[in-house]
Amino acid sequence: MERVKKILRERRESGTFRALMPLTKRDAGIISFQDKRFIDFSSNDYLGLSGHPRLIDASREALNRYGTSSSASRLLSGDLDICHTLEEKIAAFKDKEAALVYNSGYQANLGIISALCKKGDAVFFDRLCHASIIDGILLSGCRSFRFRHNDMNHLESLLQSQRRNFKNAIIITETIFSMDGDKALLGELVGLKEKYNAMMLVDEAHATGIFGSNGSGVAQEMGLNNKIDLVMGTFGKALGSFGAYLAGTKEMIEYLVNASRSFIYSTALPPAVIAANIEALDIVRDEPERRERLLENSQYFRDGLRAKGYDIRGESQIIPLIIGDAKKAIAISEAFKEQGYWALPIRPPTVPANESRIRFSLTFYHTKEVLTKLIDDADRILKI
Ligand SMILES: *Cc1c(COP(=O)(O)O)cnc(C)c1O
């Protein structure tokens, strides 16, 4: 098709072409690509749980007991009892009445938003929200308003000017923004939600397992779980597994079981995955030092780069180094690769034009020694 050729050509010319890079090995934060080893700064295995013996054992046991597949949608015969165990644990973890497991965060956002928002409703969402949130809004077909990142005045002016035009309003934000590593202003958002009688959905994909005294997320850290209607998050990042969840009222979960198409029309997660998810929640409870160390090291890394004069945003384990031009970001990423760091360029359309960046995703495996060397190497690479 002519369009296909044209788009591929444009992508190549503008430095935004993407290609897959098959790895031959992944072990304890080290990956192998084309016979070379790299320290991985691109994974979301924040707590290092993907290789944790307890997760592996739990998976293996479920595999032996239930086989490899759930073999059907939850509404048919795919509804294993362990999935309910997992949902009860999530509800307690999030201090909510009930929870629902989705097959991935992408499917969760698609299924939740499209089931909740209908014609006549309006969605207000942060400009930096993840593609899965945007796709959920598009699928819902309702009107949507994008507010400038963490700009509460902008959000309020939109709510104010639209308040006579919608039946229901829903405010959506991530709690830790995936490309900038900063936090949402949850307290202010809850204030506006209450003032304008809106609902609120937060995406804790990058916060689950890391923030809050029990590792539940930023909503818990700020004492706002009971003020936020819907809290979603994933098992594929800090929890070292796969899948996603939504926590909310019992009524809301009953509704989604009946109305959320990405939940209804998809085979349930494999039992080995469900079992690993359960175990991951127990490890978050049992080993708080993992998240404490991660946040401490993230601060150390940010401070180190700032001391060298770089302007570093954020307050999480996601640390962006803004480069600007997409092609320059590629060249810098290549220089990092030559030094043994797998730190990839993030380019438009994932981030705004002229905000291409190297995004460092810190994990349990990045010790202070590794980070100290990286700070020096980064400074050298960026000065070239
Ligand atoms: C990764 C991510 C998702 C998607 O989750 P998956 O389980 O990987 O599909 C959703 N929202 C945000 C903010 C994410 O970063």
User: Is the CB of 130 inside a 6 Å radius of any atom of ligand 1?
Assistant: yes
pLDDT of residue 228: 98
Which pLDDT tens digit goes with each residue over 244-282? Answer: 999 999 999 999 999 999 999 999 999 999 999 999 999
CA 243 to centroid of ligand 1, rounded, Å: 9
Report the mean per-residue pLDDT for the chain: 97
First-to-last CA distance in the chain? 41
Pick the residue whose CA is nearest to atom 4 on ligand 1: 105
CA 209 to centroid of ligand 1, rounded, Å: 14
User: Is the CB of 359 inside a 6 Å radius of any atom of ligand 1?
Assistant: no
The Cα 240–Cα 221 span in angstroms is 21
Which pLDDT tens digit goes with each residue over 149-181? Answer: 999 999 999 999 999 999 999 999 999 999 999
Peptide bond into 271 cis (omega under 30): no
Mean of pLDDT values over 325-329: 94
Mean of pLDDT values over 293-309: 97
Q: State yes or no: is 260 an active-site residue.
A: no
SS3 label, residue 359: strand
Question: In testing the pocket of ligand 1, which one of 101, 204, 234 has its CB within 8 Å of the most ligand atoms?
Answer: 234
Q: Which residue has the tokens 């016979």?
A: 35
Q: State yes or no: is 206 an active-site residue.
A: yes
Cα dihedral: 199, 204, 208, 213 (round 10): -60
CA 178 to centroid of ligand 1, rounded, Å: 9
pLDDT of residue 44: 98
Q: What is the DSSP string of 33-51?
A: ETTEEEEE-S---TTSGGG
Q: Residues 90, 234: contact at Cβ < 8 Å?
A: no
| Sheet with 356-361, edge to edge strand ranges | 318-324, 356-361, 345-346
Mean of pLDDT values over 293-316: 96
Per-residue pLDDT at 383 exceeds 90 = no
Per-residue pLDDT at 16 exceeds 90 = no
Angle between helical axes of 131-140 and 105-116 (0-180°, round to 10): 30
